[in-house]
Chain A
Amino acid sequence: MSEATIHDDHHDHHDHKPTGIGRWLFSTNHKDIGTMYLIFALVMLFLGGASAMVLRMELFMPGIQIVDPDTYNNLLTNHALIMVFGMVMPAGAGMANWMIPMMIGAPDMALPRLNNLSFWLLPMAGTMLILSMVVSYFPGTGTPVNTGWTLYPPLSVQSGMGMDFLIFTIHILGISSILAAINIVTTIVNMRAPGMTWFKLPLFVWSWLFTGLLLIMIMPVLAGGVTMLLFDRHFGTSFFDAAGGGDPVLFQHLFWFFGHPEVYVLLLPSIGVLGLIIPTFSRKPLFAYKPLVWFMAALTALGMVVWAHHQYTIGMSLNATTYFMIGTILISIPVGMMLMSFIFTMWRGAMTFETPMLFGIAIILMFSFAGVTGVMLAVVPADLQYHDSYFVVAHFHYALIPGSVFGLYAAVFYWLPKWTGHMYNETHGKIFFWWTTLSFNLTFFPQHFSGLAGMPRRIVDYSPQFADFNYLSSVGGMLFGLSHLLFLYIIIKTVKGGEKAPANPWEGSMIGTTGLEWTLSSPPPFHSFSTPPSVK
């Protein structure tokens, strides 16, 4: 502890904090950029959530209620893209920015100016994304983007100008992600303090190393795919047009070669966060840390070669289908091992149940559930029934909301004291936890059943036989959406004030997750470590 205070004093007179708007526009500081990423993600969370709430209102009962079919699918497309590219990825990047330099004992990110660029591309991309949704309501711009986030041709060739905006959005987002990924990987490889060897890295850092590598490998493929789409739309090529000798299914392969690993991009940072939270509040180091890292590497590798399980229905050869089925089922091994590692960390620990831990436990349970429905979906014959039904919608929301979004919420509560220097109100945190978790389940659990009963996804209207489950889902969806107002309130209140947080706000982290980040004050000094700390 005393060492930390010395650090503080040492730093304070070095802190020439820039002021005014320039501090943010020209920032090369990992914490300021991290904060901007997090604020951006929070804004997008509300946009993406609001569009989802309009969708759920529309599906409240059979018949057209508030939006026409194209507006519905336009909102649906944007809901997904905003949540994936605007919310989860920037939030993860924001946390990486904030925490990785502090965890590995670095003064800042390896490439601070690149860091600035990769953030400031995002607001541009976000604006383009919103334009892609709005532009089609002006005359002469053609059909709204009604394809869903998969952007499959030929439908995406029929769409109007909104699709062009979307393609450019994806280009900008891609550049931003690739730059951020390069920066993070470089930081982890090059900037570790002396003595911070690979197998001393906190799981969060490992998870971002794999995430970064994945991003560098997959984003160019998506960018290439949508560029070909752009050429098909405007320059007379026929990459995806069977009538011109092209192949509509080629786009699906390109998309999912990106899209499946993208799931791990969304997931891994949150798994990394769990690898901190569970040990902290169990007061016991992570169980099987080293095998866990290796299995994470295996998951990353395996995740690159199973993409076509999203396309079992396209009519692949029996051999190809069988390969993708077996590969996909095998994913349950690393995932099962990870969950086991968390459960055995809790086993014979001394648990307390602060908000981050509550989220942690709920994530393990709900993500396991997504895992078992995932194995059901991996089984090709059964998937020929489930595919494109609400069963799939339910499955991936169980994977992505607990698996990645709740992981981010847990991280926010875990690190808010470190970021702001204030403790959040634990009662408010717990209310938020129960409110979101219960309403989340009310929203998505019934969708397994409407899907099995035969309700396809991406439809604006449905037969009354699906009405009961949709009614529950819609009520749940409204409650789930509203719970986030409390989240916002807690964050604002904690930023503004509250009980002063010590350098190490969590008793358990002294045993479970001792790390360099806790040696710095809360909030940390403007420059993290200007002399390398010593790692025992």
Chain B
Amino acid sequence: MSELKQIFKRGLLLIASTLFSIPAFAVREYNLPEPASTITREIYDLHMLTATVATIIMIIVTGIIVYALIKFRKSTGYQADQNFNHTWFGRWSWALVPAIVLGIDFSVAGSAVKTLGNIESHDPAAVTVKVTGSQWKWTYDYMEDGVKIVSNLNKDIPSTDDLYLRDVDNRLVLPINQRIRFLHTATDVLHAWWVPAIAYKKDSIPGYINETWTMIDKEGVYRGQCAENCGTGHAYMPIVVEAMSEANYAEWMNEQKLAMVAAVAESSADKTWPLAELMERGEKLYNTNCAGCHMPTGTGLPGVFPALKGSAVALGDLAKHNEVVLKGVAGTAMAAWASQLNDLELAAIITYERNAWGNDTGDAVQPADIKAAR
């Protein structure tokens, strides 16, 4: 019940602060963003067509009603025409509006069906990206190149900055002027990947693979966010796409591949990692991967996400701790991390959890331990 008191108190504060700070109006975006791909441009045109038709209909309807309101008022002495319903018009005009509406409907549906056909065309694509939604981050797999990018909210941006909740640590990088195919799926609950300027949305559904496509025609950075309610962190799943020339893209892809090889080598190197180094790496990895639920302070969210600070698992048997992190806990938001992070990364995170916030087990978990536990 302290919850209620809290709400009330903050509500009062909010009202007080409003009175002193009416924000300055500078409306920037009020329509779909300027399209930067062929398919979203086609959708944009369709949207403008239907919006125009809608506006015209509203103007006509409003016009008729306003005219009636001025003309047919009792206060001006107007007598109701009791014959109106029995005239030829009164008997047959009920068919009139449906006929007009049907005409409008067919013209709208006609262009819609054409665009829909283009959306559902499955032409071969140059780049295929599997987009996986998880609570609460996006994972991008470049299917041809075997490169994987995990994209989390950039938490360092203050709520006054335009990029607040619209920036990530790792962007999805794509080439322009090439057909790109997205395969959408999810690991836990529903999500929806939506970047209005370049990509319409289809839901990410566990157990399903949905397909969308785009062909970006302008270099630039495009932003969006998760559109399907996915729970606590739904507001915190932004998407950033960077579109670059084909040459730059190829170069970028090469760097990623090299970095990947280096990471694998490092993780499987026959080396005993000292506690301090594991802690340093672990802190960073924990903050991007786990802190969304378990909180940077390890205190979790009472009743929803367990605290790791002082938790029996984090202080107890290492095998149990490894198992929870590697395999997850079925039926809860705790995902299986075995396929998402490599041995070294997992070793670092688990070491961190066992030694941070006053959890002082002194354990320095090694990549080899993780490998054995997999």
Tell me if A306 is interfacial: C-beta within 8 Å of chain B: no
Q: CA of A67 to CA of B8 in the docked complex: distance in angstroms?
A: 10
Beyond A141-B303, A382-B50, whether A454 also contacts B57 by CB under 8 A is no
The answer to whether A452 touches B30 (Cβ under 8 A) is yes
The answer to whether A351 touches B73 (Cβ under 8 A) is yes
Point out the residue from B11, B61, B224 that lies within 8 Å of A365, measured CB to CB: B61
Interface size of B in residues (CB-CB distance below 8 Å): 113
Point out the residue from A141, A333, A458, A462 that lies within 8 Å of B98, measured CB to CB: A333
Tell me if B33 is interfacial: C-beta within 8 Å of chain A: yes
Point out the residue from B68, B203, B226 that lies within 8 Å of A456, measured CB to CB: B226
Beyond A70-B232, A347-B68, whether A284 also contacts B207 by CB under 8 A is no
- Stretch with Cβ within 8 A of B (4 or more), from A152-160, A425-433, A521-529: A152-160
- Residue-wise, chain B 32-52 has the 8 Å CB interface mask toward A (1 for contact) of 110000001011001100110
Q: Could you tell me the distance in whole angstroms from the C-beta of B155 to the nearest C-beta in chain A? A: 12
The answer to whether A73 touches B229 (Cβ under 8 A) is yes
Beyond A350-B72, A364-B65, whether A379 also contacts B46 by CB under 8 A is yes
Q: CA of A66 to CA of B208 in the docked complex: distance in angstroms?
A: 37
User: Which residues of the partner chain B approach A382 to less than 8 Å between Cβ atoms?
Assistant: 43, 46-47, 50, 112
Total contacts A-B at CB 8 Å: 335
The answer to whether A340 touches B303 (Cβ under 8 A) is no
The answer to whether A284 touches B190 (Cβ under 8 A) is no
- Stretch with Cβ within 8 A of A (4 or more), from B159-167, B256-264, B358-366: B159-167
- Stretch with Cβ within 8 A of A (4 or more), from B116-124, B273-281, B309-317, B344-352: B116-124
Q: Could you tell me the distance in whole angstroms from the C-beta of B58 to the nearest C-beta in chain A? A: 6
User: Which residues of the partner chain A approach B100 to less than 8 Å between Cβ atoms?
Assistant: 336
User: Which residues of the partner chain B approach A452 to less than 8 Å between Cβ atoms?
Assistant: 29-32
The answer to whether A388 touches B227 (Cβ under 8 A) is yes
The answer to whether B201 touches A464 (Cβ under 8 A) is no
User: Which residues of the partner chain B approach A35 to less than 8 Å between Cβ atoms?
Assistant: none
Q: Could you tell me the distance in whole angstroms from the C-beta of B48 to the nearest C-beta in chain A? A: 10
Q: CA of A344 to CA of B90 in the docked complex: distance in angstroms?
A: 9
The answer to whether A375 touches B54 (Cβ under 8 A) is yes
- Residue-wise, chain A 436-452 has the 8 Å CB interface mask toward B (1 for contact) of 00000000000001001
- Of all chain A residues, which has the CB nearest B303? A139
The answer to whether A381 touches B188 (Cβ under 8 A) is no
- Residue-wise, chain B 140-184 has the 8 Å CB interface mask toward A (1 for contact) of 000000000000000000011111111000000000000000000
Q: CA of A160 to CA of B90 in the docked complex: distance in angstroms?
A: 58
Q: CA of A157 to CA of B210 in the docked complex: distance in angstroms?
A: 22
The answer to whether B47 touches A384 (Cβ under 8 A) is no
The answer to whether B65 touches A346 (Cβ under 8 A) is yes
Tell me if A16 is interfacial: C-beta within 8 Å of chain B: no
The answer to whether A385 touches B32 (Cβ under 8 A) is yes
- Residue-wise, chain A 450-480 has the 8 Å CB interface mask toward B (1 for contact) of 0011101111111111111101000000000
Beyond A143-B232, A288-B93, whether A62 also contacts B65 by CB under 8 A is no
The answer to whether A375 touches B65 (Cβ under 8 A) is no
Interface residues of A in 279-336 (CB under 8 A from B): 282-285, 287-288, 291-292, 295, 313-315, 318, 321-322, 325-326, 329-330, 332-334, 336
Beyond A248-B190, A381-B43, whether A337 also contacts B98 by CB under 8 A is yes
- Residue-wise, chain A 356-393 has the 8 Å CB interface mask toward B (1 for contact) of 00000100110011001101100111101101110000
The answer to whether A142 touches B162 (Cβ under 8 A) is no
Tell me if A195 is interfacial: C-beta within 8 Å of chain B: no
The answer to whether B11 touches A54 (Cβ under 8 A) is yes
Point out the residue from A70, A158, A291, A364 that lies within 8 Å of B94, measured CB to CB: A291
- Stretch with Cβ within 8 A of A (4 or more), from B77-85, B241-249, B282-290, B320-328: B77-85
Interface residues of B in 215-235 (CB under 8 A from A): 223-235
Q: CA of A464 to CA of B120 in the docked complex: distance in angstroms?
A: 34
The answer to whether B11 touches A453 (Cβ under 8 A) is no
- Of all chain A residues, which has the CB nearest B30? A449
The answer to whether A469 touches B27 (Cβ under 8 A) is yes
- Of all chain B residues, which has the CB nearest A144? B304
Tell me if B127 is interfacial: C-beta within 8 Å of chain A: no
The answer to whether B188 touches A154 (Cβ under 8 A) is yes
Q: Could you tell me the distance in whole angstroms from the C-beta of B238 to the nearest C-beta in chain A? A: 8
Q: CA of A243 to CA of B55 in the docked complex: distance in angstroms?
A: 47
The answer to whether B65 touches A361 (Cβ under 8 A) is yes
Point out the residue from A152, A337, A387, A449 that lies within 8 Å of B190, measured CB to CB: A152
User: Which residues of the partner chain A approach B202 to less than 8 Å between Cβ atoms?
Assistant: 313-315, 384
Tell me if A352 is interfacial: C-beta within 8 Å of chain B: yes
Q: CA of A381 to CA of B162 in the docked complex: distance in angstroms?
A: 29
The answer to whether A70 touches B304 (Cβ under 8 A) is yes
Q: CA of A57 to CA of B27 in the docked complex: distance in angstroms?
A: 20
Tell me if A247 is interfacial: C-beta within 8 Å of chain B: yes
The answer to whether A346 touches B211 (Cβ under 8 A) is no
Tell me if A140 is interfacial: C-beta within 8 Å of chain B: yes
The answer to whether B116 touches A325 (Cβ under 8 A) is yes
Tell me if A148 is interfacial: C-beta within 8 Å of chain B: yes
The answer to whether B14 touches A65 (Cβ under 8 A) is yes
User: Which residues of the partner chain B approach A346 to less than 8 Å between Cβ atoms?
Assistant: 65, 68-69, 72
Tell me if A349 is interfacial: C-beta within 8 Å of chain B: yes
Tell me if A189 is interfacial: C-beta within 8 Å of chain B: no
Tell me if B108 is interfacial: C-beta within 8 Å of chain A: yes
Tell me if B196 is interfacial: C-beta within 8 Å of chain A: yes
The answer to whether A340 touches B46 (Cβ under 8 A) is no
Q: Could you tell me the distance in whole angstroms from the C-beta of B127 to the nearest C-beta in chain A? A: 20
The answer to whether B117 touches A336 (Cβ under 8 A) is no
Tell me if B97 is interfacial: C-beta within 8 Å of chain A: yes
User: Which residues of the partner chain A approach B119 to less than 8 Å between Cβ atoms?
Assistant: 380-381, 384
Tell me if A69 is interfacial: C-beta within 8 Å of chain B: yes
The answer to whether A454 touches B224 (Cβ under 8 A) is yes
The answer to whether B72 touches A142 (Cβ under 8 A) is no
Tell me if A169 is interfacial: C-beta within 8 Å of chain B: no
Tell me if B341 is interfacial: C-beta within 8 Å of chain A: no
Q: CA of A63 to CA of B84 in the docked complex: distance in angstroms?
A: 58
Q: CA of A477 to CA of B302 in the docked complex: distance in angstroms?
A: 31
Q: CA of A387 to CA of B47 in the docked complex: distance in angstroms?
A: 13
User: Which residues of the partner chain A approach B270 to less than 8 Å between Cβ atoms?
Assistant: none
Q: CA of A347 to CA of B64 in the docked complex: distance in angstroms?
A: 9
What are 27 A-B interface contacts by the 8 Å CB criterion?
A62-B160, A69-B234, A73-B231, A139-B303, A152-B229, A155-B231, A158-B188, A243-B207, A248-B206, A287-B84, A295-B98, A313-B203, A315-B205, A321-B116, A346-B68, A347-B84, A349-B72, A350-B73, A351-B68, A351-B73, A368-B57, A380-B112, A382-B47, A388-B194, A388-B229, A461-B165, A464-B160
Other 16 A-B pairs with CB < 8 A, given A66-B6, A376-B54: A62-B164, A242-B206, A249-B208, A313-B203, A318-B116, A329-B105, A336-B101, A337-B98, A348-B72, A350-B78, A379-B50, A381-B42, A384-B202, A456-B225, A459-B235, A463-B164
Q: What are the 7 closest A-B residue pairs judged by CB atoms, nearest first? A: A242-B207, A453-B29, A372-B54, A63-B159, A384-B200, A459-B235, A315-B210
